[in-house]
Amino acid sequence: MSELAKPRLYTLVVNEGSGGGRSGRELPRVARDLRECLPGAEVAVVTSDSWTESEKLTRAAALAARDGDAVIVMGGDGMAHLGLNACAGTEATLGIVPAGTGNDFARGVGVPKNLSGAVDAICAGVTRRVDLAHISNEAYPSRYVGAVLSTGYDARVNRATNDISLRFGSLSYGWVAIRELVHFSPLQYRLRIDGVLRIQEAMIVAVCNTGMFGGGMRIAPDADPADEQLSVTIIDPVSRSTLLRLLPLMYSGRFAKHPSVQQFTAHQVEIAGDGLFCMGDGEELGDVPVTVTAAPGALKVFVDPSQAAATVKA
């Protein structure tokens, strides 16, 4: 068969243990539905049982992709993170079938929340070109984050949530947030925002692309993943009781009205400070210093056709 005659290739990469095993249970149905609605394409299914293997599989599929091919990841925020890193800057279009508990990046760019809706979106072939946040530090000289890079109280809550064995979906994040608050004090930051040095204490410094984390918390309510900028949220030092009152308001974004909250956009943010580490898309991404830079239009992703104003037919 000639190169031109080859059908489009949709590679479905699944960590079968993701989402508490939900990915593995739903895989047969998802694969069947994709094959039925994409008769002119080849749907290849590859499974993994580890983060490292999933990363290798997604990257290999993306690097081999031709125009019109897709890499589809099925799982939670971790699989979405691997998928966007694999596909950024390649010919591959990213498809996300959300089977986790948070699915923050998927929701932030317009992927339907349920499995069947996500499969329908991939089959409809409507795509959106979105930005990513590019990070660089000692651990990851070049890495992309799709949703939020956290470094303060939010990062500590994220890390602690990842470490607990009993999960209750997005409720786990809220419970750990209350637990961690007991011992938390403001952190000293050395920031450089688009070249301007800024030294301050803060509870949270979040650098955002889509602005959603922790299973639906809207840490940057006005973030636009296609505006070619980063959205930055800083919460100045406040009492523990005040931060406790702000936490539930993050689900609606209303916390942003509090006088301790600063929000602005930037093209590049450098973060340094003692005792700070990075969490991006729910994954631990090394220590500061870290440089975060907007990466305009770095990724093409299948989205809900209702996102028509921001999408284009593939």
- Is the pLDDT at 1 greater than 50? The verdict is no
pLDDT of residue 264: 98
Nearest CA among 256, 268, 260 for reference residue 186: 260
pLDDT bucket at 169, cuts 50 / 70 / 90:
low
Q: List the beta strands (DSSP E) in 51-195.
A: 70-75, 93-98, 126-136, 143-145, 148-150, 187-193
Beta partners for residue 271, in sequence order: 191, 290
C-beta of residue 131 within 8 angstroms of C-beta of residue 42 = no
Q: List the beta strands (DSSP E) in the chain.
A: 8-15, 41-48, 70-75, 93-98, 126-136, 143-145, 148-150, 187-193, 196-202, 204-208, 212-213, 217-218, 230-235, 261-266, 268-272, 277-280, 283-287, 290-302, 312-313
Over residues 58-81, the pLDDT tens digits come to 999 999 999 999 999 999 899 999
- Is the pLDDT at 13 greater than 90? The verdict is yes
pLDDT bucket at 17, cuts 50 / 70 / 90:
confident
pLDDT of residue 267: 98
- Is the pLDDT at 7 greater than 70? The verdict is yes
- Is the pLDDT at 95 greater than 80? The verdict is yes
- pLDDT > 70 fraction of the chain, expressed in percent and rounded: 89
pTM of the model: 0.91
Place of tokens 């996102």: 307
Residues 6+ apart with CB under 8 A from 70: 8, 9, 10, 11, 92, 93, 94, 95, 122, 302
pLDDT of residue 84: 98
pLDDT bucket at 3, cuts 50 / 70 / 90:
low
Beta partners for residue 12, in sequence order: 45, 72
Q: Kindly state the average pLDDT of the residues 167-179.
A: 60
- Is the pLDDT at 303 greater than 60? The verdict is yes
pLDDT bucket at 5, cuts 50 / 70 / 90:
low
Over residues 140-164, the pLDDT tens digits come to 999 999 999 999 888 888 887 766 5
User: Would strands 283-287 and 277-280 be described as parallel, antiparallel, or unpaired?
Assistant: antiparallel
pLDDT bucket at 312, cuts 50 / 70 / 90:
very low
84-88, 104-108, 181-185, 192-196: least confident range? 181-185
